Structure 1
Amino acid sequence: MHIHYNTNQTILPLELACVLPQNHVVFTIEKVINDLEERHFDAFYHTFGRPSYHPKLLLSALVFAYSQGVFSGRKIEKMMVENLAMQYLTGQLVVSYRTINRFRVAEGMEKLIRDLFIAFSLQLKMEELVTLDCLYSDGTKIEANANKYSFVWKKATDRFSAKLQEQIQTYFQEEINPLIHQAIELDSEESISSTQLLDFAHLLEEELADLNQAIEQTPTKGKDERKTKRRNLKKVLHKVRDDFSVRAEKYECYQELFKGRNSFSKTDTDASFMRMKEDHMMNGQLKPGYNLQIATENQFVLHYDVFPNPTDTRTLLPFLASYPHDVKRIVADAGYGSEENLLNLDEMGIEHLIKYGLFDKEQKRSYRQSTKNLDNWTYDAIEDSYTHPEGWRYLFHHVKHQKTSTGFEQEISVYQAQHPELAP
């Protein structure tokens, strides 16, 4: 005996909410998005054209599809036909994949997603699932959708740009100045911009036009030195306008794109080159990517941000600054434990459970017993000196000040051996 099964039986249409489990994620998505104020969707309302789909409908469909690991516009459209939960969200409307793709790249979408993220966090707070004042932060590197051989390095750009400036200085002195009536004096200490080179090209064009006019008005038989000069002017004009100015403009554009980074990808200028955790070739290959920082509490993601820095150290402070709530406590690994970060957290009154860089090393017995460990040296507070376990004395010499790439100033006390020729 089998359970009755008949696909040809006509049944009354039931409300889809009755078919889905009560704890289905689709109900949470619907509640959070419907609770958003209408002002968040003002950018998607238009007074012209045919009636559009409600932005809450499209946003709900996108969020549910993303939660199921579906990102393709065509597959999201297919879900609206085949997936009961998606049909419940959309009211059994089937939206074209073109409309879906236009909606998710529309102007104002980024702000809408951030507003939704904040609203979701507040909803968790109201349900007493999170406190919003304690963050567990960590980061991971995600590979960009860019050509891994499209790299541009800042050091190489600086070197090529400096070499170009040298070529320009030499070329102007040796080739251009002898050909024109107005001598051009270049400042050797300042770089010549692409705009200045185009101005020089315009000056050469005027000089060439005057020379052409003179040749036409007073033609001469036989060899004419003016024609030789005209050929040389055309050559240097081509060099300045089509070579020097183009390369200078390219390097200027590169410098604007670096934005404090050491590299970027030509096919995705926001991506920086960094080493990924998945290194299948085991050769430390650099790939274009992003450093994604995520803060969680009770397994809920409360904040996220993307940085071009390959290390986590320089991401902590700007990451906390972009967090929309007050932070009382933060937990992170040793990758965030720099002197700058720990001092700034103390100044902001934020409790932190972050290991400093040498913490794990200090737990090893070999390090605790090592003569390189400063704790094993004898310190004399009166003379401000350290004595090595084997007897060598190191006296205070001076305080060294150095500034990090973020502008943080460090004070380092430098000690010098009393007998440098004998000390190790």
Structure 2
Amino acid sequence: MGYIKGKERGQSVLFPGTVDEYIGENNEVRAIAAFLGRLDFVKLRFVRGQAAGTGRPGYDPRLLMGLFLWGHLNGIRSSRKLERESHRNLEVIWLCENLRPDFKTIADFRKDNGAGIKGVVVEFRLWCLRAGLYGKEIVAVDGSKFKAVNSKERNFTKKKLSQIIARERAKISEYLEAVAVADETESEEPELSAAQLKEKIAGLERYLAEHEELERQLEATGESQVSLTDPEAKLMKTDKGSEVSYNVQTAVDSKHKLIAAYEVTNERNDLGQLAVMAFQAKEALQVAELTVLADGGYYEGNALKECEQAGITTFVSVPKSKEAERLGIFAQSQFRYDQEQDLYVCPQGEELHWTKTINDRERNKKFKVYATKACAQCPLRAQCTTSKYGRKIKRWVDQGVIDRLRERIRGQPELLKQRKTLAEHPFGTIKRGMNQGFFLLKGISKVTTETGLTVLSYNLKRVLNIMGVEQMISSLAKANPCSA
């Protein structure tokens, strides 16, 4: 039967007369161009946002911004790869109006326009708000580790440095002994000559000096680790064990799983990020009240209090205390608090009264301490305390914040179940679907810009799935031309 026959490569072909004819009406590049075409790049503070009156003309920032947005949508972020696509990819040729910026121009645009790119992310979110794409009622906050441009071999903790320095000193001592033996046994032929051993010692001493300097640096700064390639990146626990990474935080709206706010930190856990992300999401969605969902990694009393005071209703998993279980005694939850009388009632029915208030400076909290004299004769003492002074209960002075949280969770447990599917969807799409689970740039400022491009491309991808290209362009046409 043979194969399907193609045309000879040397045969003349009549191609369409314009590049535009190759680009379908539902092609994503048309949506990109329509969105960027309505923005004021001068107000957004882009470098060369306004064409220069004299000198060599530069590239329109709309074209370079469009190139990056197309690249992130298609998993191509490298400036060299984007340059290559501008020569061969019809979508990029159409988007860039047949211009071919070199890789340095492309890379410099991203490096120099962090504030402008952040502004474009904001403008897209504002348009989505006006288009009714955000629910503005519930957001889920979550964090995920994104690999930095720094290998584990180029990251040193105090413990790692201590071990390396000990090994190097031991090896130097071993080689020094070998040199002495080699000098004495001239008749026998050693594995390594004295000269070769001295060369190895010199190399080890150089490494030792470098590592000792890093150890002194950690002592001086009080930091627990240092990264050499990207000094702001930190070694963090990940699904793969541990990697030198950044911690990317997002707040995801429940209606269409659009990202409402994002932040990049080099903190190794999520503790301390709840109030930051909740406040950002509330401001981004322009609402007076908001419900925020988060896992137990965000549980921190002061943050919950801040949120409550700002009109933010939190649903955060409350970690179980394992101390009582470890000691084999009654948990604090088994003691009933009487708010009216400000006392606790123990499992045996005895009352624990307030005795003093202590200030925990490390945790920035004040605690009221409750105790009773009934422990001395209590038949359940062994099940309640190991202290000779009897059982004491510490209650945070703002414990009502936690009590109200527990009550909300009991009333609406389904919200915490919703959190996981809501918060983890963007990270799954970004890391696996868009292949953007790692950074190409160094430094928290630059990786924040990189994250902004990723968030913008993710949100655009979601909107195109929801509305389609033609409907999006139609909606953009009705928007304010100054700010999408």
Does TM-score exceed 0.5, indicating one fold?
A: yes
**One-letter identity of the residue aligned with 1:386:** V
The corresponding residue for 2:140 is 136
Tell me the matched-pair count: 314
| Structure 2 residue 239 is matched with structure 1 residue 277 | yes
Higher relative contact order (CA 8 A, sep 6+): 2
Match of 1:23 among 16, 26, 41: 26
Q: Secondary structure at the match of 1:38?
A: coil
Matches within 5 A, 1:231-250: none
Structure 1 pair 113–388 and aligned structure 2 pair: CA distance change class (3 A): same
| Structure 2 residue 310 is matched with structure 1 residue 306 | no
**One-letter identity of the residue aligned with 1:305:** E
Q: Secondary structure at the match of 2:133?
A: coil
What do residues 106-147 of structure 1 show as CA deviations (whole Å, max 9, x unaligned)?
Answer: 2xx110110010011012122221245642221101222113
Distance 2:371 2:300 in 1: 23
Structure 1 pair 388–119 and aligned structure 2 pair: CA distance change class (3 A): same
Q: Secondary structure at the match of 1:43?
A: coil
Q: Secondary structure at the match of 2:152?
A: coil
Structure 1 pair 79–355 and aligned structure 2 pair: CA distance change class (3 A): same
Asked whether the 8 Å contact 2:46–2:61 carries over to 1, the reply is no
Match of 1:352 among 299, 314, 318: 314
Identity, in percent, stands at 20
Task: Choose 1 or 2 for highest CA Rg.
Answer: 1
The corresponding residue for 1:112 is 116
Q: Give the C-alpha shift of residue 313 in structure 1.
A: 2.2
Q: Which runs of 5+ in 2 are unaligned?
A: 162-208, 383-484
Q: Give the C-alpha shift of residue 252 in structure 1.
A: 9.1
Q: Give the C-alpha shift of residue 85 in structure 1.
A: 1.3
Asked whether the 8 Å contact 2:140–2:294 carries over to 1, the reply is yes
Asked whether the 8 Å contact 1:392–1:417 carries over to 2, the reply is no
Matches within 5 A, 1:372-387: 372-377=330-335, 384-387=343-346
Distance 1:399 1:119 in 2: 49
What do residues 293-335 of structure 1 show as CA deviations (whole Å, max 9, x unaligned)?
Answer: 0122212222211112222121122234445523532222232
Q: Give the C-alpha shift of residue 62 in structure 1.
A: 1.2
The corresponding residue for 1:121 is 125
Asked whether the 8 Å contact 1:398–1:415 carries over to 2, the reply is no
Matches within 5 A, 1:168-247: none
Q: Give the C-alpha shift of residue 29 in structure 1.
A: 1.6
Distance 2:240 2:213 in 1: 36
| Structure 2 residue 91 is matched with structure 1 residue 85 | yes
What do residues 30-76 of structure 1 show as CA deviations (whole Å, max 9, x unaligned)?
Answer: 12222211312552255554222111111111110111111222221
Q: Secondary structure at the match of 2:229?
A: coil
Structure 1 pair 13–404 and aligned structure 2 pair: CA distance change class (3 A): farther
Q: Which runs of 5+ in 1 are unaligned?
A: 158-242, 280-285, 362-366
**One-letter identity of the residue aligned with 1:341:** A
Asked whether the 8 Å contact 1:295–1:304 carries over to 2, the reply is yes
CA RMSD of aligned residues (A): 3.9
Q: Secondary structure at the match of 1:113?
A: helix
Distance 1:248 1:273 in 2: 16
The corresponding residue for 2:396 is none
**One-letter identity of the residue aligned with 1:101:** A
What do residues 336-392 of structure 1 show as CA deviations (whole Å, max 9, x unaligned)?
Answer: 232222211110011233332249x9xxxxx9xx97244544667769353334x88
Asked whether the 8 Å contact 1:379–1:387 carries over to 2, the reply is no
Distance 2:22 2:249 in 1: 38
| Structure 2 residue 37 is matched with structure 1 residue 75 | no
What do residues 2-38 of structure 1 show as CA deviations (whole Å, max 9, x unaligned)?
Answer: 8996763442534444433433221222122222113
Distance 1:11 1:302 in 2: 48
Q: Secondary structure at the match of 2:56?
A: coil
Q: TM-score, normalised by structure 1?
A: 0.62
Asked whether the 8 Å contact 2:246–2:265 carries over to 1, the reply is yes
| Structure 2 residue 273 is matched with structure 1 residue 315 | yes
Distance 2:307 2:73 in 1: 34
Distance 1:269 1:13 in 2: 52
